[in-house]
Structure 1
Amino acid sequence: MKIGEYAPDFVLKDQNGEEFRLGDFRGKKVLLSFHPLAWTGICEKQMKALEENHERFESLNVVPVGISVDPVPSKKAWAEHIGLKKLRILSDFWPHGAVAKLYGLFREKEGFSERANVLIDEEGKVAFFKVYPIKEVPDLDEIFKLLEGD
């Protein structure tokens, strides 16, 4: 994906089984925070950081969501376990990793996505795209700097 390209639309279910359609969020920015697997330490830190900054994102007209290949029941149990109250975490379970593949982020060998942040602007175009080392929690400050520098 390149900055300025239209982000592919998709529909996934969140941890509560509710549909999330990217195209429904035109007029808002959307942060897609891809993480490899639920129930892992770095992914937990990544999702908790989004939860802890939820109000800050909202104040900047951003809808943050997590995405991984885990099935909905696992996402629900994990969200409850780590105390997510506001953050929606999406299940890219079936077809397995289809959204990660759409965004060029699927790791075929391991069967899960890269760790990445993709910020989509109000028009549905990619404004920020970064893949992080798999063992590193993404830096939200670089996203806030971009958003607050507008």
Structure 2
Amino acid sequence: MKLISVGENAPNFTLTDNNDQYVSLTNFQGKKVLLSWHPLAWTPVCTDQMRALENNFQTFQSLNTVPLGFSVDPVPCKKLWAAAIQLKQLQILADFWPHGQVAKQYGIFREQDGYSERANIIVDENGKIMWVKVYPSAQLPDINEVLSVLSGSTRK
């Protein structure tokens, strides 16, 4: 499995979110989309990662960006977790069935563990990958780094 690269077309997906809504990447043409992957719900670092997206939701909007959270947890789990950690605006999507299919398309599924890497992938307004970063599982992604990339002051 090969990690998706900057400049590639982002694979489209349609997944269900924590509000039982279908979400497709193609819904956001003309906007950047942050695909923020966490291994599993109900863990401290994953909670902090999703709360950072929620807490910066307005900043993402000002940068013409839609933040989305992802993991392989099923929809009922996502619903309960979103309520428990008080996500009001952030959509968190269930890549549950076929298990990890979207994570596999992006090259971040950990087959041996049954869940995704912790990763941030930014898709540009034209559906191309503009930035990819995979983190150690125990590391909280730096939200300021992501915002810096989105604002154009850093590119990797």
Q: Which of the five TM-score ranges fits, normalised by the shorter chain?
A: over 0.9
Counterpart for residue 60 of structure 2: 57
Q: Distance in 2 between matches of 1:125 and 1:149?
A: 16
Percent identity between the two aligned chains:
57
Alignment of 1:1-150 (within 5 A): 1-149=4-152
RMSD value, Cα:
0.8
Q: CA shift at 1:14, angstroms? A: 0.2
Aligned length: 150
- What stretches of structure 1 move > 4 A for 4+ residues in a row? none
SS of the residue 2:119 aligns to? strand
The alignment partner of 2:131 has SS state of strand
Report the Cα distance in structure 2 between the residues aligned to 1:68 and 1:149, rounded to whole angstroms.
27
The AA in structure 1 aligned to 2:101 is: A
- Which structure 1 residue ranges, 5 or more long, are not aligned? none
- CA displacement at 1:149 relative to structure 2: 2.6
**Contiguous gaps of at least 5 residues in structure 2:** none
Matches of 2:117 and 2:24, distance apart in 1: 21
**Residues of 2 paired with 1:148 and 1:85: CA distance?**
24
Q: What code does the residue aligned with 1:84 have?
A: L
